[in-house]
Amino acid sequence: VSEGCKNSFTDKFPKLADKCRVVENFTDADRIRKMAKVGTHAYDRAVRNVVTVCRLGEEKGLLRAAEAFGRLRDEGKTNFHWSVVGDGPERPRLEAFLRSNGLEAFVTLTGAVNEPYCHMAGADLFLLPSLHEAAPMVFGECCAVGTPILTTDTVSARELVESRGLGRVCPNSTEGLYGALLEFLEGALPSRIP
C-alpha cells in the first residue's frame, strides 16, 4: 500500500522484490466530503482544535500524546482542545491519565462514531501519534476534507504526508510530538491544506 511498506517487505523477502507492486489505499473522496457535511461537528473557535480518529489501542501512542499535551498545558499553552474519536482497550488508561493530570477540560474522548469525517473536517489539525503504522487510510481521508496532518515518523509517513504537502512528520517520540504540537499552537504549521 506504499513504497515504504514494499521496502519493508522486500527487505525481509528480497527474492520477491521483482514480484511486488505498490497499490495504494483507495479513498472515496466524494463520499467522504459528502459525509463530512452531515452533522458537521461544532468546535470552539477560540482555541486550536486537534482531532485523532483511531482505535484506542496501545500502538496508537495516545498516552504519549496526552503527556505532550499535559506538558504544553503546564507551560501555559492552553489554546488547544484535543478530541479523540474512537474506542478500544486503551480507553480506561487514557481516561485515568487525563483525570489524574487534570486534562479533562482540554481533551474529549467522544467514543466510537459511525462517520468521523465531520470531526475531521472541522478540526485545525489531525494528529496521528502512533508508535507504528503501515499506510493509514486516514491520511487520504484527511486530504479529502482538507485537514492538515501531524504524524509520527512511521514506515510510510514521509512518503504519504510530507512529500505530498499534507502536513508534518515529527520524530516518533513524546518529545517529537511535544515539539511539533508546540509549533502548531504557536502558528508555525498550516491550518488547512488545498
Check if the beta carbon of residue 106 is closer than 8 Å to that of residue 80.
yes
Strand ranges, E, within the chain: 48-53, 80-85, 107-111, 125-128, 149-152, 167-170
Distance of CA 144 to the CA centre of its chain: 14
Each residue's pLDDT, cut to its tens digit, for the chain (194 residues) gives 888 888 899 999 999 999 999 888 888 889 998 989 876 688 999 999 999 999 999 999 999 999 999 999 999 999 999 999 999 999 999 999 999 999 999 999 999 998 899 999 999 999 999 999 999 999 999 999 999 999 999 999 999 999 999 999 999 999 999 999 999 999 876 666 65
Q: Counting runs of H as helices and runs of E as strands, what totals does the chain give?
A: 8, 6
Q: Which pLDDT belongs to residue 24?
A: 83
Q: Which pLDDT belongs to residue 191?
A: 60
Cell 483511531 appears where?
Answer: 54
Beta bridge partners of 81: 49
Q: Which pLDDT belongs to residue 26?
A: 86
Cβ atoms within 10 Å, residue 87: 15
The phi and psi torsions of 179 (rounded to 5 degrees) equal -60, -45
CA dist., res. 186 & res. 136, Å (int): 27
DSSP for residue 179 = H
Q: Find, among 153, 24, 158, 21, the residue nearest to 9 by Cα.
A: 21
Rg (the chain; Cα; Å): 17
Check if the beta carbon of residue 72 is closer than 8 Å to that of residue 181.
yes
Q: Which pLDDT belongs to residue 194?
A: 57
Burial track 121-131 (b if 16+ CB lie within 10 A, e otherwise): bbbbbbbbbbe
